[in-house]
Amino acid sequence: MKTILVGSALFLALALGIERLASSRAHDFAPRVEKLLEIPAGTSVAALTLGSPELGPELVYVRAKGHWRSREAFGAICEESAVEALIASCTQTRGEELTRDPAREARYGLGPEARLSITLHGPKFLDQPDRDVLATLEFGRGFGRRAGTPAILELDRDPHALLARPAKDLPPFVDTRLLAGCFGPGFAGFRRMELAYADGRAFVLETAPPATPDTPPEWTLVRDGSRENALVWRPGGYTSLWIRARAKGFGNPKLAASLGLEHPFLRITLLPTEGEKIELCLGERSLANEAWLWNRRTNVLMRIDGELVAEMAPEASAFTDAVRANPWERWLMR
């Protein structure tokens, strides 16, 4: 088997050498390095569609309300840098032409049984019948071409490397953080956290900027008209939970009302140091040890692990009782 693999590798290397030699002769021994795709200046990419045997026939990503979102994950926020890196792998990649012979496409992973197709769309993707297509590119591993053109190029970038899934049943690029899309450039934590239970219990945690950079923050618990000092690492751990915790999956936010999230078991309102408030509606834990969480700021519906429910829904005394262990210790240790 090892001999076969080595022989195959040598054959491919030899074939590529022959392709380059033929190309060099055709161009007076001056290999032409060119961009795979030229997009006119000022053109914006507002949507992407991806398809391959591994990914499926079509994954759709659309930029809406300042964020990239995944259609297959019901509008979940995507990691901005990852999507932009994929776009750059289409618009910035360069390569050297190897062949124009369509009979050789399979050799370079460009046959229909293997290729990755990426289509870039303009801002009228949702409005025009042709989906405002800017260009469609086809990629093998290290090779590519513009759909509808014969030239196959050896490329300096491979978009396959960017397509890791955050979880087995989630599409690439999805940001599974509960507060994805909620952190602005000036974010430095929360200054106020409000918890309101369906049974009428409610309390608030609030802090003010420290007097000096070296002064630890002070938190106050407000409930039933009274105020008391909170143990500083308890609100700190609760804050860390919201910043670090991740969803297991996503659902259609149109189902939020039918899941009881218009009038939830617990409503959490987080006020960041900078930016708009973040309102989250938490459902009760199910027999499957899961719960639904609706981020109303981003309108993303998430399925979370049942263990998170207890951590998200504490008694007020958990922030002031020094005898009991810190319920959010694991979030401070990360």
| 17-40 residue pLDDT tens | 555 545 544 444 456 789 999 888
2 in a structural domain: no
- 291: how many CB neighbours lie within 10 A of its CB? 23
328/214 same-domain check? yes
- Within 13 A of 126's CA, how many CA atoms are on the CB side? 8
- Tell me which of 115, 145, 162 is where a domain ends: 162
* Same domain, yes or no: 206 and 316: yes
Query: 225 with 135, same domain?
Result: no
Q: What is the pLDDT of residues 272-287, one digit of tens each?
A: 988 899 999 999 999 9
| Statement to judge: residues 197 and 135 lie in one domain | no
Residue 106 belongs to some domain of the structure: yes
Residue numbers of the domain that contains 73: 33-162
Residues 86 and 219 reside in one and the same domain: no
Query: Same domain, yes or no, for 132 and 224?
Result: no
Same domain, 205 and 303: yes
- Match 């002064």 to its residue by tokens: 215
Query: Do 194 and 106 share a structural domain?
Result: no
Residues in contact with 329: Cβ distance below 8 Å, sequence separation at least 6, in sequence order: 237
Rounded distance between C-alpha atoms, residue 100 and residue 19, angstroms: 10
- Boundary residue ending a domain (162, 180, 211): 162
Do 95 and 51 share a structural domain?
yes
Q: What is the pLDDT of residue 16?
A: 55
Domain-ending residue, one of 144, 162, 180: 162
In 10 A of CB 40, how many CB atoms? 6
- E-strand ranges in the chain read 33-35, 47-52, 56-64, 67-70, 76-77, 94-99, 116-121, 133-139, 143-146, 152-155, 190-197, 202-207, 219-223, 226-230, 249-251, 266-272, 278-282, 290-295, 300-305
Residue 197 and residue 328 share a domain: yes
Residue 48, CA distances (Å) to 5, 27, 88 in order? 36, 35, 12
Do 206 and 154 sit in the same domain of this protein? no
pLDDT tens for the chain, residues 1 to 334: 444 444 444 444 545 555 554 554 444 445 678 999 988 888 899 999 999 999 988 999 999 989 999 999 999 999 999 999 999 999 999 999 999 999 999 999 999 999 999 999 999 999 999 999 999 999 999 999 999 999 999 999 999 999 999 999 999 999 999 999 999 888 989 999 999 999 999 999 999 877 777 787 899 999 999 999 999 999 999 999 999 999 999 999 999 999 999 999 999 999 998 889 999 999 999 999 999 999 999 999 999 999 999 999 999 999 999 999 999 999 998 6
DSSP state of 170: S
Q: How far is CA 321 from CA 194, 216, 245, in A?
A: 19, 19, 24
Euclidean distance between the first and the last CA atom of the chain, given in angstroms as a whole number: 45
Q: Identify whether 22 is part of a domain.
A: no
Average pLDDT of the chain to the nearest whole number: 91
267 forms beta bridges with 196, 281
Q: Are residues 51 and 154 in the same domain?
A: yes
Contact 70, 63 (CB under 8 A): no
Domain count, the chain: 2
The residues, any chain, with a CB within 8 Å of residue 247's CB and separated by 6 or more, are 176, 177, 178, 293, 302, 303, 304
Residue pair 55/114 in contact by the 8 Å Cβ criterion: no
Asked, for residue 23, whether it belongs to a domain, the answer is no
Domain contains 184: no
172 found inside a domain: no
Token pair, residue 238, equals 């609760």
Q: Which of 295, 300, 254, 303 is nearest to 277 (CA)?
A: 295
